[in-house]
Amino acid sequence: MAKHTAKEPIDPRLDDSTIDENIPWPNVNRDMIRVLNTNTWMYYGGLAFFVTMVLISAAIFYNMTTRGLGLLGENNAVFWGLDIPAFIFWIGLSHAGTFLSAVLFYARSNWRRSIYRYAELMTLFSLLNVFMILTIHLGRPWRFWFGMPVPFNGRFLWPSYRSPLAWDLIAITTYTTGSALFLYLGMVPDFAGLRDHVGGWRNKVFKVASLGWRGTDKEWKFLVQAYSLIGAMIIPLMASVHSLVAWDFVNTMVPGFHNTMFAPFFVAGALYSGIAGVIMLVIPIRRMFHLEDYIRISHFDKLGRLMLLLAFVWVYFQSIEAWGAWYKQDSFETFAFLAKAIGPWAPWYWFMIAVCGVMPMALFSRKVRTNLPVMLGGSILINIGMFIERFLIIVPGESITHLPSTWKYYVPTVHEVFIYIILPLSLFGTLFMLSLKIVPHLSLYEIKEILTVPMRPAVETPEAIPKSRAHDIKAEIEVDSETELFSDVDDIIDEKKEEGEEDG
Amino acid sequence: MAEDRSVFARFEFVNDLIQAILDLRDAGFKRDDIEVFSSIPLEVEHLSHSKEVNLKEDEAKSLNEVLFKEGRRVGFFTRIGAAIGISLAVILVGIVPITYPLQPSQQGGMPIVPFPPMGILSFETMILIAFIASILGFAWLTRNDRIKTKVYDKLLTVDRFAIGLTDLSPDRMKEATEIFKQNSTEDIHEFLEDEPGKTQLSESV
């Protein structure tokens, strides 16, 4: 176990630093290797739980595939059920990675350095879930390749590029590829750092993954160039992906969907749930691997502030949605909203408002932002609320269409809950737990950059001191020599004398 | 005189490394001959603010020339990738509706080649191919601009810095070694270019 050089203060309100700058550089390497080698019952217990849940959910999915879609609660009106809410939820969760790594990279926010790798991993695994959900949602998952926007494929199916669904597929493919490459690029020097000091099978993996990295000036130059370029490109991509997802709905005439504010609404909601997702991940990992030196209380304070800001944006969009339902004077639109506010979905709607709109106001208090159990619980509730939000965007709109004779209520079945909620969650948990043993979760070089660089202490020679400063220094020396310096020596002599008398 | 000698010097402190680089430059070593190893990207702007380094303007410029050598850039590959991506989307969105077998003159009153989707898809594919091209460019450049110094030290990924010089004549190597010693180098290795010798100097942390 590595020695912790930085202790958390008793009152975190007194500490605003994100990391102790005096942590020696070798400690960063050692702590990362320690995370790779730490095997606790919590880790294996968690991994076993997630793997079990994946297997159970996969069995239920197989059951649905062989017996038919009739096992789902979907009907002629509500044909997107839990599939698309889950799809939007996981896309949303993926946005925090880009925000924390790329946006804060350009904002020169040093506090991101300890946590952004978790956010990027969350992005990648969330996007893998998105692909899985989309494939399952097809109904015949073995024909997923029919969705590929490739013409001349002998299927007599020409992709319609006018459809936002085709844009969606290309945007998500781009975002997944970009997120994976962005994550990998930042890890190349870290893989080299681990390659040099880790043995066994991991050494072989790290050797390949580090691309022969040696840390030369040219390598750093190319890395910084590539990282900055990809970072600059992935930010607009992030906004475009969820905007395109929003346009899937906006371009229809379904009540509740046809709304011009959906694109920014979706992006803001995505960032909101994504930040909550990062908090949910980082708090247990920090505890499990004793990463208190790198992930400080002040990180959660800053994440809390960010979440509060996004909560306000979210509340604004919710208010605009309610106001728009009245202002449009479209009876179906109004009815779709009323079904949420005072109709059959009212308990879910008000629970969502309570946990995503009202509860985050507690984040005004620094005591709340620096209380980790409260932050963890709050983040879980916010993400539950955000899942419900996506559900309430899709299902009431589909239920209450322009043809009242087709109106139908929707209740998900156990099959749907397992396939669209438990399977992605447990798959995400499994991938994340496995990544803890393969991927450097702390960016070694980015953390070292904000630590004190090893420097030989400066020796000031008279020639090196500018004339203006030389006068000041001379005056300081005179003051010291006359008063404080000799008074200190006198005190020390007195103390020594007293000690000698006591010793006899 | 054969210029087949190399020298590799390791430093504990970054200010010693910087002074050694500046002394090498003063001694006439070219910026492209000086290879600097570190576990973080060394930024002159950041370093020159510390009182231990205290660089003058011309020294900072000279150091910057070594640490951030002018030359090929990843951005070139990114731009090529972006151009390919845009072209791909234009071809895809343009050709697919034209080659559709049930070809009416107008599809539902809309033009056959839809330009707004072409813009959206051009953006997405531009970024997709630019991403891939950037990474390939990065891998290609780091591989082809690979440092000539054969020796590598595992401590370089922990907390040490190093300078490697290659293709030196015996006199130049002696001169460089003197500079390194004056600047409190921790360890110096002199070797011939074709010497099989050991390439890893330090054990793991």
The residue of B39, B112, B200 whose CB has the most chain A CBs within 10 angstroms, and thus the best one to mutate to test that interface, is B39
Q: Does the beta-carbon distance from B110 to A162 stay under 8 Å?
A: yes
Tokens of A25: 């550089």
Alpha carbon distance A382, A272 (integer Å):
9
Q: What is the pLDDT of residue A468?
A: 41
| CA distance, residue A98 to nearest chain B CA (Å) | 14
- From chain A, pick out residues whose CB is under 8 angstroms from the CB of B121: 161, 166-167, 170
The domains of chain A are located at 12-450, 462-503
The answer, for B184 touching chain A at a CB cutoff of 8 Å, is: yes
pLDDT > 90: percent of chain A = 48
Residue with tokens 């990648």: A124
Mean pLDDT taken over chain A: 84
pLDDT band (50, 70, 90) for residue A172? very high
Under 8 Å between Cβ of A177 and B132? yes
Most confident of A174-183, A193-202, B184-193: A174-183
Q: What is the pLDDT of residue A17?
A: 59
State the complex-level ipTM.
0.89
Q: Which of A26, A173, A455 is facing B50, going by the closest CB pair?
A: A455
Task: Please choose, from the candidates A416, A414, A378, the residue with its C-alpha nearest in 3D space to the C-alpha of residue A395.
Answer: A416
Chain A, window 178-237: residues with a beta carbon less than 8 angstroms from a chain B beta carbon: 178, 181-182, 184-185, 189, 192-193, 195-197, 211-226, 229-230, 233-234, 236-237
SS3 (DSSP) at A80: coil
Q: Which of B110, B138, B154 is facing A222, going by the closest CB pair?
A: B138
Residue type, A56: I
Q: Which of B96, B142, B184 is facing A158, going by the closest CB pair?
A: B96
Q: Does the beta-carbon distance from A218 to B145 stay under 8 Å?
A: yes
Q: What is the pLDDT of residue A5?
A: 44
Q: What is the DSSP letter of A129?
A: H
| CA distance, residue B104 to nearest chain A CA (Å) | 15
Task: Please choose, from the candidates B28, B35, B38, the residue with its C-alpha nearest in 3D space to the C-alpha of residue B69.
Answer: B35
Q: Residue B164: beta bridge partners? A: B8, B35
Strands of the sheet with B5-11, listed across from one edge? B35-37, B161-168, B5-11, B187-192
Q: Does the beta-carbon distance from A225 to B41 stay under 8 Å?
A: no
| CA distance, residue B46 to nearest chain A CA (Å) | 10
Mean pLDDT taken over chain B: 82
The answer, for B125 touching chain A at a CB cutoff of 8 Å, is: yes
Q: What is the pLDDT of residue A119?
A: 92
A24 to chain B: closest CA residue: B159
Q: Does the beta-carbon distance from B157 to A24 stay under 8 Å?
A: no
Q: Which of A213, A226, A457 is facing B135, going by the closest CB pair?
A: A226
Q: Which of B121, B128, B147 is facing A167, going by the closest CB pair?
A: B121
pLDDT at A182 over 90: yes
The answer, for A151 touching chain B at a CB cutoff of 8 Å, is: yes
pLDDT band (50, 70, 90) for residue A460? low
List, in order, residues 6 or more apart from A71 with CB less than 8 Å away.
Answer: A63, A64, A413, A415
Burial B15-50 (b: 16+ CB within 10 A, else e): bbbbbbbbbbbeeebebebbbbbbbbbbebeebbee
Q: What is the pLDDT of residue B78?
A: 95
pLDDT band (50, 70, 90) for residue A63? very high
Q: What mean pLDDT do residues A246-261 have?
A: 86
pLDDT band (50, 70, 90) for residue B114? confident
The answer, for B25 touching chain A at a CB cutoff of 8 Å, is: no
Q: Could you read off the pLDDT of A397-448 as tens digits, one per residue?
A: 888 888 888 888 899 999 999 999 999 999 999 999 999 988 988 899 999 9
Q: What is the pLDDT of residue A151?
A: 57
Alpha carbon distance A339, A345 (integer Å):
6
Task: Please choose, from the candidates B128, B115, B94, B88, the residue with its C-alpha nearest in 3D space to the C-alpha of residue A170.
Answer: B128
- From chain B, pick out residues whose CB is under 8 angstroms from the CB of A224: 41
The answer, for A9 touching chain B at a CB cutoff of 8 Å, is: no
pLDDT at A480 over 90: no
Domains identified in chain B and CATH numbers: 5-71+151-192 (3.30.70), 74-144 (no CATH)
The answer, for A324 touching chain B at a CB cutoff of 8 Å, is: no
Q: What mean pLDDT do residues A313-327 have?
A: 92
- From chain B, pick out residues whose CB is under 8 angstroms from the CB of A3: none
Other CB atoms within a 10 A radius of the CB of residue B176 amount to 26
Q: What is the pLDDT of residue B103?
A: 61
Least confident of A82-91, A365-374, A446-455: A446-455
| CA distance, residue A233 to nearest chain B CA (Å) | 7
Tokens of A38: 């730490």
pLDDT at A77 over 60: yes
Q: Does the beta-carbon distance from A458 to B12 stay under 8 Å?
A: no
Q: What is the pLDDT of residue A165?
A: 84
Other CB atoms within a 10 A radius of the CB of residue A404 amount to 9
Region of A215 please: left (phi>0), alpha (psi -120 to 50) or beta. Answer: left
- The distance from CA A238 to its chain's CA centroid, rounded to whole angstroms, is 13
Q: What are phi and psi of A68, to 5 degrees?
A: 115, 165
Q: Does the beta-carbon distance from B53 to A222 stay under 8 Å?
A: no
pLDDT band (50, 70, 90) for residue A317? very high
The answer, for A448 touching chain B at a CB cutoff of 8 Å, is: yes
The answer, for A171 touching chain B at a CB cutoff of 8 Å, is: yes
Alpha carbon distance A477, A460 (integer Å):
14
Q: Could you read off the pLDDT of A130-161 as tens digits, one per residue?
A: 999 999 988 888 887 776 666 555 666 667 78
- From chain A, pick out residues whose CB is under 8 angstroms from the CB of B110: 162
- From chain B, pick out residues whose CB is under 8 angstroms from the CB of A457: 52
Alpha carbon distance A99, A104 (integer Å):
7
Least confident of A2-11, A161-170, B151-160: A2-11
pLDDT at A333 over 60: yes
Q: What is the pLDDT of residue B25?
A: 87
Q: What is the pLDDT of residue B6?
A: 85
- From chain A, pick out residues whose CB is under 8 angstroms from the CB of B205: 26, 29-30, 197
Q: Does the beta-carbon distance from A171 to B124 stay under 8 Å?
A: yes
The arrangement of secondary structure in A12-450, i.e. its CATH architecture, is: Up-down Bundle (1.20)
The answer, for A173 touching chain B at a CB cutoff of 8 Å, is: yes
Q: Does the beta-carbon distance from B117 to A159 stay under 8 Å?
A: no
Q: Could you read off the pLDDT of B5-44 as tens digits, one per residue?
A: 888 899 998 888 988 998 998 888 888 888 899 999 887 7
Q: Which of B139, B152, B205 is facing A211, going by the closest CB pair?
A: B139
- Residue that wins the pLDDT comparison between B197 and A1: B197
pLDDT at A475 over 90: no
pLDDT band (50, 70, 90) for residue A162? confident
List, in order, residues 6 or more apart from B34 with CB less than 8 Å away.
Answer: B21, B24, B25, B66, B163, B165
Q: Does the beta-carbon distance from A240 to B123 stay under 8 Å?
A: yes
| CA distance, residue B143 to nearest chain A CA (Å) | 8
The residue of B21, B52, B64, B127 whose CB has the most chain A CBs within 10 angstroms, and thus the best one to mutate to test that interface, is B127
The answer, for B92 touching chain A at a CB cutoff of 8 Å, is: yes
Q: Could you read off the pLDDT of A223-235 as tens digits, one per residue?
A: 999 999 999 999 9
The answer, for A467 touching chain B at a CB cutoff of 8 Å, is: no
Q: What mean pLDDT do residues B36-58 have?
A: 76
Least confident of A71-85, A468-482, B36-50: A468-482
Show the CA angle centred on residue B41, arms to residues B40 and B46, nearest 5°: 105
Q: Could you read off the pLDDT of A100-125 as tens digits, one per residue?
A: 888 888 888 888 888 999 999 999 99
Alpha carbon distance A502, A12 (integer Å):
42
Residue contacts between A and B (CB atoms, under 8 Å): 199
pLDDT at A387 over 70: yes
Alpha carbon distance B1, A498 (integer Å):
72
